[in-house]
Homo-oligomer: A and B are copies of this chain.
Amino acid sequence: MPRAAAARRGTARPRTTYHHGNLRSALIDGASVLLERDGPLGVTLRGAARQAGVSQAAPYRHFPSKSALLAAVAEAGFEDLVRTMSRAARRHRASPTAAIEAMAQAIVRFAAEHPSRYRLMCGPAVRGRDHPALLRAAGAAWDVLMTSIRECQRAGRIRPGDPAQQGFVLWSTIHGLAVLVVDEQLPPAVLRAHSIEALAGYATAVVLAGLAPLAG
């Protein structure tokens, strides 16, 4: 952060030198600011360059296209999400089902607090196929969930079977709820009656009940 360093040293020289490879992260920060402030449609390569105090053409030294910059922002979002999920799971090491419930609530809360970011992470602006690093980051979130699924199986809380097949149902439900929240598509009556944490908890409980070992 040369800007902060300059301020500390009291030099008046404006941050006209973004060498040493930090323009890349400054652009990611700039795009994130625009994303949070103006929504997905307000994110602009030129705008991110302005935020970083750099010319409109400078970003092309670090990203081949706008969508590559967006992919980097999305990637950082997934890293955030994975941290949040892991933290939630760690708080419930005793019960894998409680861990899954807490993760679901963490995901939906993340989506509700950063709707534009969540949309970008999953939306059409960035197709993972074109951005391997983004795919890896998204895969890490999936892995965290899969770990808990396997623990549930070991603990006998859900029936044996292909964990991936069970996991995608849970992932669909949680992600679907998150997307509905982000897009404000939940029926207003449902939202008035329940917090999104309660909804996430209920949805998780229903799916886990549907995956429970067959009695007898």
**Which A residues are closer than 8 A to B by beta carbons?**
39-41, 116, 119, 122-125, 127-129, 138-139, 142, 162, 164-166, 168-169, 171-177, 179-180, 183-187, 189-190, 193-194, 199, 202-203, 205-211, 215
Report copies per complex: 2
Cα–Cα, bound, A206→B213 (Å): 12
What chain B residues lie within 8 Å of A169 (beta carbons)? Answer: 173, 202-203, 206-207
- Is the pair A190, B172 in contact by a Cβ cutoff of 8 Å? no
Please, how many angstroms separate the alpha-carbon atoms of A166 and B203 in the complex? 8
Given contacts A171-B176, A172-B173, A209-B210, contact A184 B129 (CB under 8 A): yes
Partner of A124, one of B41, B177, B205, B209: B41
CA distance A41 to B183 in the complex (A): 18
A180 close to B173 (CB less than 8 A): no
Q: Tell me the minimal C-beta distance from A43 to chain B in angstroms.
A: 11
| Shortest Cβ-Cβ A-B pairs, 3 listed | A176-B176, A210-B210, A172-B176
Query: Which B residues are CB-close (under 8 A) to A124?
Result: 39-41, 116, 119, 123, 183
Q: List 11 A-B contacts (CB under 8 A).
A: A116-B124, A122-B185, A127-B184, A164-B189, A164-B190, A165-B194, A165-B202, A169-B203, A173-B207, A207-B207, A215-B215
